[in-house]
Amino acid sequence: MVYDNIVLIGFMGSGKTTVGKVLSRQLFKDFVDVDTVIETEQNASVTEIFKNKGEEHFRALEQKCINELTKKKGQVIATGGGLPIYSTISDKSLIVYIDADFDVILKRLPAKEHAKRPLLQDESRAQALFDQRIGTYKDLATFSVDANQSVNTFIHVIRDFILDQRVL
Minimum Å gap between C-beta 136 and ligand S3P is 12
15 scored as a contact of ligand S3P (CB under 6 A): no
To the nearest 5 percent, what fractions of the chain are helix, strand and coil?
A: 55, 15, 30
How many Å apart are CA 68 and CA 147, to the nearest integer?
28
99 scored as a contact of ligand S3P (CB under 6 A): no
97 scored as a contact of ligand S3P (CB under 6 A): no
> Is 79:128 a contact under the CB 8 Å cutoff?
no
Nearest-CB residue for ligand S3P: 80
Q: Where are the alpha helices (DSSP H) in 10-150?
A: 16-26, 34-42, 46-53, 55-69, 83-86, 102-108, 111-115, 123-140
82 scored as a contact of ligand S3P (CB under 6 A): yes
12 scored as a contact of ligand S3P (CB under 6 A): yes
Q: Which of 23, 46, 76, 141 binds ligand S3P (CB under 6 A)?
A: 46
Q: Which stretch binds ligand S3P (CB under 6 A): 24-32, 76-84, 95-103, 150-158?
A: 76-84
> Is 37:82 a contact under the CB 8 Å cutoff?
no
Give 136 or 163: the residue with its C-beta nearer to ligand S3P.
136
Q: State residue 43 phi and psi, 5-degree precision.
A: 50, 40
Q: Which of 6, 15, 23, 35 binds ligand S3P (CB under 6 A)?
A: 35
89 scored as a contact of ligand S3P (CB under 6 A): no
How many Å apart are CA 80 and CA 66, to the nearest integer?
11
Give 46 or 95: the residue with its C-beta nearer to ligand S3P.
46
> Is 23:158 a contact under the CB 8 Å cutoff?
yes
118 scored as a contact of ligand S3P (CB under 6 A): yes
Helix (H, G, I), strand (E, B) or coil at 3: coil
The residue ranges that bind ligand S3P (CB under 6 A) are 12-13, 16, 35, 46, 80-82, 117-119
